[in-house]
Structure 1
């Protein structure tokens, strides 16, 4: 079964390289994926959200969800699984960027993007921003495959971990909020 998944992963990356890479798209996605380095774009947006009363909780919870994602994905899972980057295993795959580390699974960029998006989808006053953030997270995941640094399963796992971290932080927030509302004044 694992061999089938690995073959599908490799085939998808070669398909992207051979049929979807184009100079303008390459420039855009390299720029975009670089904004995700160290969660820069998502942390920046979260810090901006902290500046406004209506969105302060969205910013704080997104930062907490991304921190949890960092601990789970980049510090724990990447080192436990130690899956090599795809260009080291997929014959003919040419990466467009140098990797920040040798481990591929799961995608930390995708985890951070979906951790933030998962929170913003629940907390932003206008649902439109939440939907746009989910689309932006999906593009981040695609960009990681496009540049040849992650397998589709790395991106899928990063997405699941990010959404799981967002959900966990959201439920902890609700428990705290509900327990404070029940306390007598």
Structure 2
């Protein structure tokens, strides 16, 4: 199995599992279940693991690529812009004001992790999850090693689950965010790859004369 096949398998598997859970559960079921099964270790894991979905994660990686691999810099920058714009359109225009778990449930139903700022609106989709999965797919394609692919997907899954565990989003928000991030990075990779192949062909033709 190649790295790309592993990526495709993981992406499809995660998407199918998430969609299946959406069909067999109500909107807030996963939030309530995770909230009822909180542990100290999980609080720490998801409190800090959620930061893999911060947009700031792109900055040091982009700076590194700008210095050493400019072609990948433009690809990763495009991934960030794509999922950011799509998530913004959904959040601020199409589904603006959609309540998050804090506003959806009655006061006192949920308990929150200390030190985490909880938001109340603009729930759909999860921007953190879109960032996490966009970054995971993009870096996995760039590095092209199965061990890193598994690690990156693990971090993205932690970030996605953390959004529900921390009562910041519903499962449907996280599922949509993951799909936006994954499809954007996959699609842009094939776009850039085709462009790169065309450039290489042109360069090779010029060098033969």
TM range (shorter): 0.7 to 0.9
Q: Is 2:71 aligned against 1:44?
A: no
2:76 corresponds in structure 1 to 62
The separation in 2 between residues aligned to 1:71 and 1:178, in whole angstroms, is 28
Query: TM-score scaled to structure 2, two decimals?
Result: 0.74
Q: Is 2:144 aligned against 1:128?
A: no
Q: How does 1:1-185 map to 2 (within 5 A)?
A: 8-19=26-37, 21-34=38-51, 36-37=53-54, 39-53=55-69, 57-73=71-87, 75-79=88-92, 80-82=94-96, 83-91=98-106, 92-96=109-113, 97-99=116-118, 102-183=121-202, 184-185=205-206
- Greater RCO, 1 or 2 (C-alpha within 8 Å, sep 6+): 2
CA contact (8 A) 1:69 1:111 kept: yes
What's the RMSD between the two structures over aligned residues?
2.4
Unpaired segments ≥5 residues, structure 1: none
Unpaired segments ≥5 residues, structure 2: 1-21
Farther-moved stretch of structure 1 (23-32 vs 40-49): 40-49
Runs of 4+ in 1 over 4 A off after TM superposition: 4-7, 49-53, 56-60
CA contact (8 A) 2:35 2:110 kept: yes
Query: TM-score scaled to structure 1, two decimals?
Result: 0.82
Q: What is the CA distance between 1:40 and its match in structure 2?
A: 2.1
Change (3 A) 1:101 1:52: farther
